[in-house]
Every structure is written in C-alpha cells, then in structure tokens.
Amino acid sequence: MATLNVPIPPSPAGRAAPAPSSANTLENGDRLTRAEFERRYEARPDIRKAELIEGVVHMPSPTRSASHGRPHAATITWLGSYAASTPGVQVNDNSTVRLDLDNEPQPDAALLIDPGAGGQARLSDDDYIEGAPELIAEVASSSASYDLHDKLHAYRRNGVREYVVWRTLEHRIDWFELVDGAYRPLQPDADGVIHSRVFPGLRLALGAMLRGDLATVLRELQRGLREKAHQAFVARLAGRPPSSETPE
C-alpha cells in the first residue's frame, strides 16, 4: 500500500505549534465529567483535596489553624463521639462521596447510618461512599463560600438530610434540615442547644462550640446519649425492640 506523506502546514506567524496539554492536569475551574475527574484525581497523588461540584473542579487553598484546622478537629471529635456510642452509625473524615454524575465532594465530615441498618448511602466496591450521607458538616470561611451555594444545592438535591456549616470568619454555625425538598435552619432551644432530627441524641451546644469549649460540647452530647430517644434509635438500628429501662 502506498504511503501518503502530507506536509504539516507551518503554525501562524511562524510560531511553534503549542504542546498538547497533559491528560492528567487538574486545575481549579476545570469542567469535567465525574469519571474524568476521578481519573485525573487518582493520577495526582500530590493533590490532597479536590472536589467536583456541579461539574466544576474546586481545590481548596492550604488550610489555616484557627479558621479551619481546629474547627474541623472539633467537629470530628463531636461527631466521632456520637458514632462511638451509636452502633450502626459511622463517621467519615474527608471521604470522597459520589453524589451524582456532576458532583463528587469531599466533605469535612459525614455521619452515616450503616446501609444494613437502613442508611441511604453505601460503600462501593472500590471503597467510595455512593449516595447521600444522612448528615454532612463543612467548615467554611464565610457565607461567600461555595459550601453555602453550589455545594448546598447539590446536597439538597441529592437528599442529604441534615447539613451543618461552620462559618469561622463570621463566628456562626448553621444547621439545616431537609423538609419538603428545601433546607430549613434548625433553631437552638432556650439553652442554646441544637438537636438533630435524624440522629436522636446528637446535640450541639452552639455557644460552647463557637468559643472552642469542647469539654462543654461533649458534656452536652453525653446528655443526649442518655436520652430514651437515643436508646430507642440504637435498638432500632440493631433490629431489636427498644428497652423499657429508664436511662441513668
């Protein structure tokens, strides 16, 4: 068979043709499918956190201590303490979540009911969370953050039942519950404590958390863990009838 040698035309103005872009680049603002996002993310082990929100790549800046690191640790400690006393519930720290074809966030914290106990999310064969966790918590700098805009809409649309956002620069924590397809804020009681509607016994002493008084936060949580509602929840997750004993 004859071979055709077709000459390559010179680039405009005598410039060299640009080199092809790397297939493994991952940059803020890239618009990718979820599959392509996962491929590029896995090819870049040097990138510690990247999220796909509404089809757009977001890579947060390095995190500071007071505005993110300590609030993140406090949130994990609070939710982890609840999970430790609630068999059938698990806490995840910075785990990737496959929500839908355009959204693959990596939330700061997620609280899930085990699939075998009736949870709405599950673990995939390659060890990712698939579906909406019952509760997600994020630490954001302010109300301008995408955590309170595109990400909030993605969580709402996919059925995340409760969403906690700690706005560190504004010294505020918002806790939303999903009601009739919309997020509505949960209000603290007269003592300044917010109570989860999805996870009985999960209580947050709002003022204490905001001022960094984790000991008080955990004491308030322990009160919730002694409630009959929490005992009944644990029994339900285990598939047994609730105890009629009065908690201490």
For residue range 137-155, what is the model confidence (pLDDT) as tens digits? 999 987 778 888 999 999 9
CATH number at residue 107: 3.90.1570.10
CB-based contacts of 204: which residues, under 8 Å, 6+ apart?
A: 78, 164, 173, 175, 193, 194, 217, 220, 221
When mean pLDDT is compared over 43-47, 67-71, 211-215, the highest value belongs to: 211-215
Q: Is residue 35, in this structure, part of any structural domain at all?
A: no
pLDDT of residue 24: 79
Contact by Cβ (8 Å): 218, 74? no
36 has a pLDDT exceeding 80: yes
Task: Provide the domain count of the chain.
Answer: 1
| Domain span holding position 117 | 65-238
Q: Is residue 128, in this structure, part of any structural domain at all?
A: yes
Question: In which band, very low, low, confident or very high, does the pLDDT at 62 lie, cut at 50, 70 and 90?
Answer: confident
Q: Is residue 148, in this structure, part of any structural domain at all?
A: yes
pLDDT in tens, 190-230: 999 999 999 999 999 999 999 999 999 999 999 999 999 99
Question: In which band, very low, low, confident or very high, does the pLDDT at 15 lie, cut at 50, 70 and 90?
Answer: very low
pLDDT of residue 1: 43
**The dihedral of CA 96, 100, 103, 108: what is its sign?**
negative
C-alpha to C-alpha distance for 90 and 233, rounded to whole angstroms: 14
Question: In which band, very low, low, confident or very high, does the pLDDT at 243 lie, cut at 50, 70 and 90?
Answer: low
Phi, psi angles (nearest 5°) of residue 182: -130, 150
Model confidence pTM above 0.75: yes
pLDDT of residue 248: 42
Per 3-state DSSP, the chain is made up of helix, strand and coil in percentages (nearest 5) of 30, 25, 45
Mean pLDDT of the chain: 88
Q: Is residue 3, in this structure, part of any structural domain at all?
A: no
Average pLDDT over residues 100-129: 95
Q: Is residue 10, in this structure, part of any structural domain at all?
A: no
Higher-confidence residue of 104 and 142: namely: 104
Q: Which of 148, 150, 173 is nearest to 71 (CA)?
A: 173
87 has a pLDDT exceeding 80: yes
Q: Is residue 152, in this structure, part of any structural domain at all?
A: yes
Q: Is residue 192, in this structure, part of any structural domain at all?
A: yes
Q: Which of 232, 221, 242 is nearest to 84 (CA)?
A: 221
Q: Is residue 144, in this structure, part of any structural domain at all?
A: yes
